Amino acid sequence: VKYALAEQLLDRVKGLLSEAGKAEVDEITNTIILTDTKASLEKIKLMLTSEDTIGKQMTTQSFTLKYAQANSIGSAVKDLLTPSGKLELDPSTNSLLITDTKYSLLRTGQLISKLDYFRPSQKLFTPKFALASEVKKIAGHYLSDKGEIEVNEAENQIMVTATSRNLKKIEDLLADLDSPSKQMKKEKFLIKYISLEDAVDLVKENLSPQGTLKIDPPSSTLTVEDTSYHLFQIEEIVARLDTFQPQKRIYKISFAPLSLVATRVEDFLSDQG
């Protein structure tokens, strides 16, 4: 059978067999093996001649690729098509729309299955304004089931293992996300132990050119507006340095009542004093 699928014609063939006739299908060669009388075989031959034509067996099927790029395997697929077959590539969905005979589509589908395998590439991305850990959450939606993302938080880097098509998607995503305007956030820091002046100096050293700092001495707070990555760095520094480091000093009270002084002093102690 040249254009139809032998298996799909088997029931019609069996309907034309005599009681002693037999029919078997060889799916590999797409053939029907018949044993029957000459008269029955002639009927079956006429039916197959009528059905096994390009016009009657033409159909359309879409193949969406998981790993390979549609335009990279298009030429190999086209070589399998009949002269009447047509191939359309859709890069936006990474798919091939094929119009051809049923048998040709079967062979084409088998070829596509062999060509559509995971061929990974790797790329290291270092965001300047976005947090690598946050980028990972979004970029994960662009990976196939075999793709991977590893995060190096210390260097704010992500290593992506993916197909070249998905790497390009993640590259475009990062180009869009990794800008000051899209990563600006605001956070308030309560300075509990170190002096407010020291905290201000530390924050200023780690602000981006776009970052701003507001100081409120009465509440001992700093309000910082900056990109996700710079805010994360400032959080780490403040958390590491604004810790209770006790010092002890003895005061001799000469004139005021000791209990009164003690009460007043307690108002100035930290939560650990």
Q: How many domains does the chain have?
A: 3
pLDDT tens column, 217-249? 999 999 999 999 999 999 999 988 888 766 677
pLDDT tens column, 49-96? 999 999 999 999 999 999 999 999 999 999 999 999 999 999 999 999
Domain that holds residue 86: 6-115
> Tokens 């995971």 identify what position?
118
Residue 158 located in a structural domain: yes
Q: Is the pTM of this model over 0.85?
A: no
User: Pick from 66, 84, 115: which residue ends a domain?
Assistant: 115
- Assigned token pair, 70: 């549609």
| Same domain (yes/no): 40, 130 | no
Residue 1 located in a structural domain: no
Sheet holding 58-64, edge to edge: 58-64, 95-101, 86-90
User: Pick from 80, 115, 150: which residue ends a domain?
Assistant: 115
Residue 257 located in a structural domain: yes
Which residues of the chain have a pLDDT value below 70? 245-247, 261-262, 265, 267-273
Q: What is the pLDDT of residue 227?
A: 95
Q: What is the pLDDT of residue 242?
A: 80
Q: What is the pLDDT of residue 255?
A: 74
Residue 92 located in a structural domain: yes
Residue 273 located in a structural domain: yes
State the angle between helix axes of 196-206 and 228-241 in degrees (0 to 180), rounded to the nearest 10: 150
